[in-house]
């Protein structure tokens, strides 16, 4: 499902216009992104949690040349599914 399909589906369930639904979804993604950028966790009970993880610096290899290269440390976004979502997917 892409963003437009999500907008269509939410709009159909709520009865709101597609433009209003698109604004809500855009606001949601902006707020979650801002919270994660600050290092906060976004927890949606029954659905899951969005958080920030850390990836340590490491040495890798360039696949084209085989030469060793340094890969810098980075922050990553992680999602942990909630119990209700796991049960729904596994049902």
Structural domain including 32 reads 3-90
Average pLDDT over residues 58-78: 94
- The answer to whether residues 41 and 73 touch, using CB atoms and an 8 Å cutoff, is no
Helix (H, G, I), strand (E, B) or coil at 60: strand
Residue 45 has a pLDDT of: 94
Please give the tally of structural domains in the chain: 1
Q: Treating both helix axes as pointing N-terminal to C-terminal, what angle do 3-14 and 18-37 enclose, rounded to 10 degrees?
A: 120
What pLDDT, on the 0 to 100 scale, is given for residue 10? Answer: 97
- Determine the pLDDT at residue 74: 96
What's the confidence (pLDDT) of residue 54?
Answer: 94
Q: Which residue in 28, 29, 5, 8 sits closest to 19, CA to CA?
A: 8
CATH code of 21's domain: 4.10.520.10
pLDDT, average across residues 47-56: 96
Mean pLDDT over 16-29 rounds to 96
Which whole number is the average pLDDT over 23-39?
Answer: 96
């Amino acid at each position: 499902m892409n963003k437009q399909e999500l907008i269509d589906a939410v709009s159909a369930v709520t009865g709101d216009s597609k433009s209003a639904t698109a604004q809500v979804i855009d606001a949601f993604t902006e707020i979650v992104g801002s919270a994660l950028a600050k290092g906060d966790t976004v927890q949606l009970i029954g659905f899951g949690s969005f958080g920030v993880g850390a990836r340590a610096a490491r040495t890798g290899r360039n696949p084209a040349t085989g030469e060793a290269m340094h890969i810098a440390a980075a922050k990553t976004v992680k999602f942990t599914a909630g119990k209700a979502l796991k049960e729904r997917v596994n049902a």
